[in-house]
Structure 1
Amino acid sequence: MTTFPGGTRVEMIAGIPVSVDIRTPLPVRELTPLLDNAFAWLRWVETTFHPSREDSQIGRLNRGQTIEQVPELIEVLHRCDELSEATGGWFEARRDGVVDPSGYIKGWALERLSRALANTGAGDHRIDAGDDIRLRGSAAPGRPWEVGIRDPRTGLVRAVVAAHDLGIATSGGSPVVDPRTGRRRTGVDAVTVIGPDLGVADAYATAMYAMGPVRARRFAAETAVRSPYQSMIIEGDGQEYATPGFAAHVAQPSLAG
């Protein structure tokens, strides 16, 4: 039986490059359909949840048209409501009668994909989609995956996170609107949240990016105490704040990829 040390595929999904890097040694006859199914799932998520697509279920919902009773749609809307409550309304997927789960759906989709890959025997993988990353297993035997967290203004690496099983979500580098007032907010350049569920980390990062530095620090500290989600905040003046649990995941960068 011929095997090779995993494989990587990159495709454009919803206008961004998505990379699935599997390091588990698998036969070609197993690896190829795994990658095919991975991107089929991501394309299905795009066509179902993209708010700007007229044929998506979210698009139909926002126009008051009949939608299919898709279990995943009900799950996502329910989780968005829970996350809105958990963040005091700073993460909000419903505004002025329009539903847009964009701050959660990408992380949710990658988390679902990571679990599916692990359940089918591809337990060593890294999935990248913009600023959302899901790590599982090992990059090489005995070696964790390493992810550089970059400053959105300078491009310099602020920290390197090393892990065998972690979701990493970053919000930053673009204008952000206060979901309560609709006005643009400033004061935070980027927020990175790490934790066991990438969808939750994605929503928390989105919320803290909108909060501004004072509220974001307080929310990060409180969340770190009561949950496994840890944060690093880069403020507009360049100052950096990290919860103790975030610092525990930081390692020196290695030369390996």
Structure 2
Amino acid sequence: MTTFPGTARAEMVMGMPVSVDIRTMLPARELKPLLDDAFAWLRWVDDTFSPAKEDSQIGRLNRGQTIRQIPELIEVLHRCDELSEATGGWFEARINGVIDPSGYIKGWALERLSRALSNAGAGDHRLTAGDDIRVRGSAAPGKRWRIGVRDPRTDVVRKVVFANDLGIATSGGAPVVNPRTGKVQESLNSVTVIGPDLGLADAYATAVYAMGPVLARRFAADLAESGPYQTLIIGRDGQEVATPGFAEYSGAEARLVG
């Protein structure tokens, strides 16, 4: 099979393996700086937004200390408020007075990076951070990217998605808190949301997982009817249901019912 030239790198960032795979034909002297800048950006995001880091802007905000007026910080907090409203409060970055944008920030960071790489001429790439994936362009000449959607609890591939431009976010690998009760939601195995913006897909996946089975199906169906975001829900019994548009990318026969 004909393949694209390019380069790839993986590093530990945000407490997880993160990989940047560029397939666009560019000179080596251009590819290395692109990768250097990519991981520098991701480390900056972690240093700025991680609630676990005392000197991060989120950490300082949570302790009532002064923070720098960083445009990205204002953007993220504003978007989290919008997503809370859009999901009826099921996506919530402020719980018990503590700000934690983790359900949005990873997808947001990869989405911003994907756009930056495209603007720099590296339009064929795959970005992976944990269970969040952003693909753009082609994996090889004339070939869409092939992405296995894994159950984060068993690592089994449940669906295969083919796409040239898509964000894929899965919730369930890390604890998700039900914002209504403050307790960890455990009634679903995983929720995967696909769509054009990985940050939004990440937040929607977090919200749908937090809802539990009944509300999750209803919200996923409404989300699919109103826009381009499609959802795959895997229950604790291993059964899966998907909104109809998911099949356009995977050929899956599952449908969301009820």
Describe the SS at the equivalent of 1:232: strand
Partners of 2:22 and 2:251 lie apart in 1 by 22
Partner of 2:68: 68
Partner of 1:172: 172
Partners of 1:251 and 1:64 lie apart in 2 by 50
Describe the SS at the equivalent of 2:66: coil
Partners of 2:125 and 2:173 lie apart in 1 by 27
Moved more, 149-158 or 100-109: 149-158
AA aligned to 1:73 is L
Partner of 2:49: 49
Query: In the TM superposition, what whole-angstrom CA distance separates every residue of 1:16-40 from its partner, at most 9, and x where no partner exists?
Result: 1100000001101111111110011
Alpha-carbon deviation of 1:96? 1.5
Would you say the 8 A contact 1:162–1:251 is kept in 2? no
Partners of 2:179 and 2:98 lie apart in 1 by 12
Would you say the 8 A contact 2:80–2:101 is kept in 1? yes
Would you say the 8 A contact 1:139–1:145 is kept in 2? yes
Alpha-carbon deviation of 1:251? 4.7
Give runs of aligned pairs for residues 220-231 of structure 1, distance below 5 A. Answer: 220-231=220-231
Partners of 2:173 and 2:44 lie apart in 1 by 28
Query: In the TM superposition, what whole-angstrom CA distance separates every residue of 1:78-137 from its partner, at most 9, and x where no partner exists?
Result: 000000111111110011111100000000000000000000100000000000000000
Percent identity (aligned): 75
Alpha-carbon deviation of 1:185? 2.6
Alpha-carbon deviation of 1:151? 2.6
Alpha-carbon deviation of 1:154? 3.7
Partners of 1:230 and 1:136 lie apart in 2 by 18
Compared CA separation, residues 153 and 48, structure 1 to 2 (3 A) = closer
Query: What's the RMSD between the two structures over aligned residues?
Result: 1.2
Moved more, 147-156 or 60-69: 147-156
Describe the SS at the equivalent of 2:249: coil
Is the aligned partner of 1:104 residue 2:104? Answer: yes
Would you say the 8 A contact 1:6–1:26 is kept in 2? yes
TM-score normalised by the chain length of structure 2: 0.94
AA aligned to 2:198 is L
Partner of 1:255: none
Describe the SS at the equivalent of 1:176: coil
Partners of 1:126 and 1:188 lie apart in 2 by 28
Partner of 2:10: 10
Alpha-carbon deviation of 1:186? 2.6
Query: In the TM superposition, what whole-angstrom CA distance separates every residue of 1:192-227 from its partner, at most 9, and x where no partner exists?
Result: 000000000000000111110110000000000001
Gaps of 5+ in 2: 253-258
Partners of 1:228 and 1:54 lie apart in 2 by 38
Give runs of aligned pairs for residues 56-205 of structure 1, distance below 5 A. Answer: 56-205=56-205
Instruction: Kindly report structure 1 stretches of 4+ aligned residues shifted beyond 4 Å.
Output: none
Between the two proteins, the alignment pairs up a number of residues equal to 249
Alpha-carbon deviation of 1:155? 2.9
TM-score normalised by the chain length of structure 1: 0.94
Partners of 2:113 and 2:136 lie apart in 1 by 11
Partners of 1:99 and 1:84 lie apart in 2 by 13
